[in-house]
Structure 1
Amino acid sequence: MKHVVIGTAGHIDHGKTALIRALTGRETDTLKEEKERGISINLGFTFFDLPSGKKAGIIDVPGHEKFIKNMLAGISGIDLVLMVIAADEGVMPQTREHFEILQLLNVSKGIIVVTKIDLVDEEWLGMVIEDIKKEFKGTFLENAPICKVSSKTKIGLDSLAKEIDRLTEDVSRKDIRGHFRLPVDRVFSISGFGTVVTGTVISGSIREGEQVQIYPSKVLCKVRGIQINDNQVKKAEAGERCGINLANVKTSSINRGDVISLENLMEPSLMIDCKLHYLKSAPKPLKNRQRVRIYHGTSEIICRVVILDKKEVNPGEDSYVQFRLEKQLTSQRKDRFVIRSYSPMSTIGGGIIIEPSAKKAKRFNEECIEGLRIKEKGNTQNILEGVIKNLSESYPKEEDILKALGKNEVSIKDQLKNLVDNGTIIILNGGEKTVYLHKDFLNEKIDVLEDILEKFHEDNPLKIGISKEEIKNKVFGKKIKQKIYDCIMEFLENENVINTYKNFVSLIDFQPKYNDMQNAIRKNILSEFKKQKFIPPKYSDLESMCKDKRSFKMVFESLVDREDIVKISENFWLLSEYYEKAKDIVINFIKENGSISIAEFRDELQTSRKYALALMEHFDTIKFTKRMEDKRILY
């Protein structure tokens, strides 16, 4: 079923509220102050029984310039506008400002309603209508129906109702498959029921009993009940105005401008990248870092605008900008927004959100600007690629990508496969969840990694490489999860970028190379260890045999790194050949005798108790053997 929301727009005291009262028989001025002053201050909501039997939600917005922010909160979710113009005054300042806002928010269907026709004669009415036609020439209201009515005498109301009914047939059905989103325009408490929020569902659907999350606070609560058009219902979906009774949350925890959605589907941000249209009617150029007010959904936030592609924005120009917000904004890509000057307040522009969770951008950066251009004008695959590229630093999983896109899994499945197939996106199975990385991100990391390894190999020609932990911290950062890091290293090894040996990383074509002197030292060290078997030489004794202490240290460390020599304990090393023989002796002895003591191990090795004990404790540490009183068994 298609759901339609109608909104009014127009200058103060042009009869918007009276028109809705005459059409629906219901009052939208509910505040005491509104009744006393005779103007709408807050948003008014009711529903309209159309001649065809359908129901449409209807929003009455205030016309006074002081309450434009309330008008913006209401108008953001409408499908059809009633542009109300009083016959006795014609087009006025708030008529124009409201209309500019409608265009900025991409409202494309409307009816021009000329009210108070009982106050003027036919000649005056004809002149007013001619002026109206000139005012809206070249806009979406150029060919809109013009209905002449009097809310007081009821003249023209039936014709207006039929026009509304006819135009609602052409309203596109909203996306009920997307993520549920409801920008909150009112919050109140009802005795016996608790907290109630109202708003227009702009995408997806919600059912009674579902758990929802309030953004940006991320407070979790439950849908206790849903009301639409004064009726209790089980479900609300895109395009419907509804009231939602929430359990387990206080009214003080929710504000107008908050967004109700499902858990972990939105990511509030203090920075958003946008395409801005600066109105021709703006009084002066927009300066970089100028303070403005941004209106999105039902929220109003003060921010500074960083102009990315030009020095300043002149009236009538478009620009890529980044808004740096004083409070978090919860938005999605392609959402519309409006900006007003900070003081004095007037509407100066608006546009679309390109990146709802942006990183701090530099001005005049061609790569950044081109990226925004692709995201703005590109197809789903281009946008998907840009999102993954932007998220790669945080090693995104599928749910992170969907959250950033505001789309469901089905809608990106084919595009994601294409990007993987053509090598643009790299898939890594990092533990429980698959991680998606852009090739450019990985190539940047490879460049850094290769630079580090080249410098290391140059400075340390005998070392087999850098420890994996050091590479992890220097190249990928301490926050990367170990399983993801292991997957990246495996991928790079399979791609012949690096070699890994034990816990070390080296360039693929690197081999430690000894010069003649170093090779002589190497042979001498290995010869001494081979000669002395299980009573190995001390480091200090070996070092004293070599004049070049620095070269000796480098060679000795390289032999340990390569595991030609195995470190057993402080100042105790063993030739790897004898290390393996010692293991075999333990295995065979225990198989024959059930266990082995230190004395028995000493005798088998033909060494001293000191070395036998140190070696056995080493075997305990690596869980090769296990101590049982004064004997060892295999672990």
Structure 2
Amino acid sequence: MIIATAGHVDHGKTALIKALTGQHTDRTAEEQRRGMSIELGYAWMDCADGKTIDLVDVPGHEKFMRTLLAGMGCVDAVMLVVAADDGVMPQTLEHLQVLKLLGGRPVLVVISKCANVTNERALHVQQEILQLLAELAVHKPPSFLLDSLSGDGMAALVEQLNTWAESFSPADDQGPARMSIDRHFSQPGAGDIVTGTLLSGRAQIGDVLRLSDNGASLRIRSIQVHGRAASAAHAGQRCALNLVGDLAGADLTRGSQLLDAAIFAPTACLDARLQLISRLPNRGTLQLHMGNAVINARCVPLRGEPLTADQHYGQWILDRPVCCRYGERFIIRDPASRKLLGSGQVLDPFAESKGRQRPERLAALVAVDASDADQALQNLLAVLADGVDLGRFMRARHLTIEPGRARHPETLRVAGWLCRQPDFEHCLQRLLAALAAHHLQHPDQAGMSRQRFTRHLGLPIRSRLLSAVIRHALDRHMLQQSGPNLHLPGHQPQADAQSLEWFEQLQPAFSACAPRPPIIGELMADLNLDKAELLTRLDKLSALGLLACVGRNRYLLPASVDHLLSVAGELARQQDDGQFSTASFRDHSGIGRNHSVAVLEYFDKAGMTRQSGQSRRLA
């Protein structure tokens, strides 16, 4: 269990921790000279049942609010310290505001320096702070009157801390490891050491974790927990890790993270639910205090009805990528005015700025706003016409086990994508009906392209649902494909006599150079046509499905398109990840680089392949 102190400067937080643990948390010479905490201090105390409590000593001075927020970002509970002689002070009120924004964390009240005042004065301060907490919906927290120097009242506080430790349920350590770093230093003979809090999972000697700053893979050479060597650290513990790996260019500042490779997914755009205590400025950069990190960001309010008078949805564009998950809480601060503006909880860590104000996008955001993963997945399947990317959903919540809904009989799975079975059947019937109607209205055309289907069915351009439906229909011979066109089995475009005559003239030239496209200049010379007339004829033949236009001045026979697609399919099957490069396609197809680029871009547009970075895979 990790507990942070809070309270006004010089109210005895550091002295209290020393009385509890025997450890002095003011480490730097400047702190010792000035007699006040500037940096975060760390200590631990052993409890009666063998458990330990980590204590984080945070500075109370208003100049160090950023440090205070960092110290309180990764803790399980807060110990609010108020000096009996001073009573409630400005930073006491500000720290109470922080407690409200963090929400849901147990609070313990300590009235310190009671030896300096009468008992009546101490009781008055105690009632005052309890009343302020009640206004924040924190009712009757444990509270103690004590003096750290004399030890009066300390026994009751220690007993309460032991009770907390005994009843505390630590985080699940079966998930992926994730550590928030608060310090980094080099030690002679050991190398790089980082200290911090293990937020989830378990870290063991020999494990390799990714650094959030630059993605570097770092191996754990040794581990210390509370100054003692350990073979592993568990979720909820503070620990020190000795790391081995390439740290060139790594910042390793407070707020950096070490993560299991499965959840290393940096993002620079996220959607969140916001609870505001002050209106956000229309312009300018704000600060998000997430865990112990500080991120500069700007907010784009999402249109739609607010949840309550002070709760809204907003999209944050960050100045640098961070690794976060669904439900992660952050505090919003205006660095210009030094005011706390509110708090937020991450709903979609992988948000896209394009289309963020569409009603469907807001509906998906409302649907995913459920702490239970199975309920959130069910909500998404109900509102997303195109289904759900299960891998993305699990990464957003740092899940290693699929939610039960992913295995529900009414849920259809295609690779890592899910949709409801009724939605799939409905889309299939609409696709077949649209094709039948198109053949009646346009008997001279080969069929419909994927782009026309997406427009007709009102689906996204890269619809996973449509891809799955088309693959299902092709595999069961409910559809056929000729080049980019899909058609019902047995349908043949009814070309006019002139078009058939043109095709007979051109076919020998196309067959002679297949699977390369013929050179337009050579066709112009052979047929004695100018370029405009030739391209008009080629486009007419493409509309009939007798040719396929794969790029500017590049046309192929449908059989050549099918052959090149089979080359791409064979390359994909040869790789474990199903991806292939432009260079490998060029080498295996033998059509040259320029033609390869045009053909692959044509496959992308036709929905036959999907590009991912420098590689492609079959759609």
1:149 equivalent in alignment to 2:139: no
Counterpart of 2:410 in structure 1: which amino acid?
A: N
User: What SS does structure 2 have at the residue aligned with 1:143?
Assistant: coil
Between the aligned partners of 1:385 and 1:313, the Cα distance in structure 2 is 21
Compute the displacement of 1:173 (Å): 2.5
Higher alpha-carbon deviation: 264-273 or 504-513: 504-513
The correspondence for 2:491, drawn from 504, 511, 516, is 511
Q: Which residue of 2 aligns with 1:431?
A: none
Q: Which residue of 2 aligns with 1:197?
A: 194
Change (3 A) 1:521 1:103: closer
Q: Which residue of 1 aligns with 2:294?
A: 300
Contact 2:3 2:55 in 1 (8 A): yes
The correspondence for 1:174, drawn from 143, 165, 171, is 171
Compute the displacement of 1:55 (Å): 1.8
Contact 2:176 2:400 in 1 (8 A): yes
Q: Which residue of 2 aligns with 1:8?
A: 5
The correspondence for 1:422, drawn from 393, 407, 410, is 410
Higher alpha-carbon deviation: 50-59 or 39-48: 50-59
Counterpart of 1:331 in structure 2: which amino acid?
A: C
Change (3 A) 1:139 1:550: closer
1:309 equivalent in alignment to 2:289: no
The correspondence for 2:62, drawn from 60, 65, 72, is 65
The correspondence for 1:335, drawn from 315, 319, 328, is 328
The correspondence for 1:86, drawn from 83, 100, 106, is 83
Between the aligned partners of 2:385 and 2:241, the Cα distance in structure 1 is 37
Q: Which residue of 2 aligns with 1:402?
A: 394
Between the aligned partners of 2:540 and 2:341, the Cα distance in structure 1 is 72
Q: Which runs of 5+ in 1 are unaligned?
A: 428-433, 530-538, 563-569, 571-620, 622-635
Between the aligned partners of 1:14 and 1:85, the Cα distance in structure 2 is 6
Contact 1:500 1:506 in 2 (8 A): yes
Q: Which residue of 1 aligns with 2:203?
A: 206
The correspondence for 2:342, drawn from 324, 332, 349, is 349
Q: Which residue of 1 aligns with 2:255?
A: 257
Change (3 A) 1:34 1:207: same
Between the aligned partners of 1:87 and 1:20, the Cα distance in structure 2 is 17
User: What SS does structure 2 have at the residue aligned with 1:202?
Assistant: strand
Counterpart of 1:277 in structure 2: which amino acid?
A: Q
Q: Which residue of 1 aligns with 2:280?
A: 286
Counterpart of 1:339 in structure 2: which amino acid?
A: I
Deviations 1:28-86 (A, max 9, x none): 00011111111111111111122444321111111111112111222122222211001
Higher alpha-carbon deviation: 182-191 or 367-376: 367-376
Compute the displacement of 1:560 (Å): 9.3
Q: Which residue of 2 aligns with 1:613?
A: none
1:112 equivalent in alignment to 2:114: no
User: What SS does structure 1 have at the residue aligned with 2:331?
Assistant: strand
Contact 1:274 1:352 in 2 (8 A): yes
Between the aligned partners of 1:274 and 1:132, the Cα distance in structure 2 is 32
Q: Which runs of 5+ in 2 are unaligned?
A: 508-522, 529-533, 548-554, 556-589, 591-619
Q: Which residue of 2 aligns with 1:493?
A: 474
Change (3 A) 1:478 1:61: same
Q: Which residue of 2 aligns with 1:384?
A: 377
Counterpart of 1:301 in structure 2: which amino acid?
A: I
Compute the displacement of 1:133 (Å): 2.1
User: What SS does structure 2 have at the residue aligned with 1:137?
Assistant: helix
Contact 2:49 2:166 in 1 (8 A): no
Deviations 1:437-458 (A, max 9, x none): 5479989999999999899979
Q: Which residue of 2 aligns with 1:360?
A: 353
Between the aligned partners of 1:322 and 1:468, the Cα distance in structure 2 is 32
Change (3 A) 1:451 1:223: farther
Contact 1:11 1:85 in 2 (8 A): yes
Between the aligned partners of 1:306 and 1:499, the Cα distance in structure 2 is 45
Change (3 A) 1:559 1:247: closer
Contact 2:77 2:105 in 1 (8 A): yes
Contact 2:424 2:469 in 1 (8 A): no
Q: Which residue of 1 aligns with 2:264?
A: 266
Deviations 1:379-402 (A, max 9, x none): 423433677899999995x65443
**TM-score normalised by length of structure 2:** 0.73
Deviations 1:385-436 (A, max 9, x none): 677899999995x654432231112x42x21012xx325x541xxxxxx231
User: What SS does structure 2 have at the residue aligned with 1:169?
Assistant: helix
Higher alpha-carbon deviation: 94-103 or 488-497: 488-497
Compute the displacement of 1:209 (Å): 0.6
Change (3 A) 1:22 1:561: same
Compute the displacement of 1:130 (Å): 2.1
Compute the displacement of 1:211 (Å): 0.5
Between the aligned partners of 1:391 and 1:195, the Cα distance in structure 2 is 46
Compute the displacement of 1:146 (Å): 1.3
Between the aligned partners of 1:556 and 1:351, the Cα distance in structure 2 is 57
Change (3 A) 1:394 1:189: farther
Higher alpha-carbon deviation: 41-50 or 363-372: 363-372
User: What SS does structure 2 have at the residue aligned with 1:185?
Assistant: strand
Aligned-pair identity (%): 26
Between the aligned partners of 1:218 and 1:236, the Cα distance in structure 2 is 22
Counterpart of 1:436 in structure 2: which amino acid?
A: W
Compute the displacement of 1:278 (Å): 0.8
TM alignment of 1:211-226, pairs within 5 A? 211-226=208-223
Counterpart of 1:374 in structure 2: which amino acid?
A: A
Change (3 A) 1:378 1:123: closer
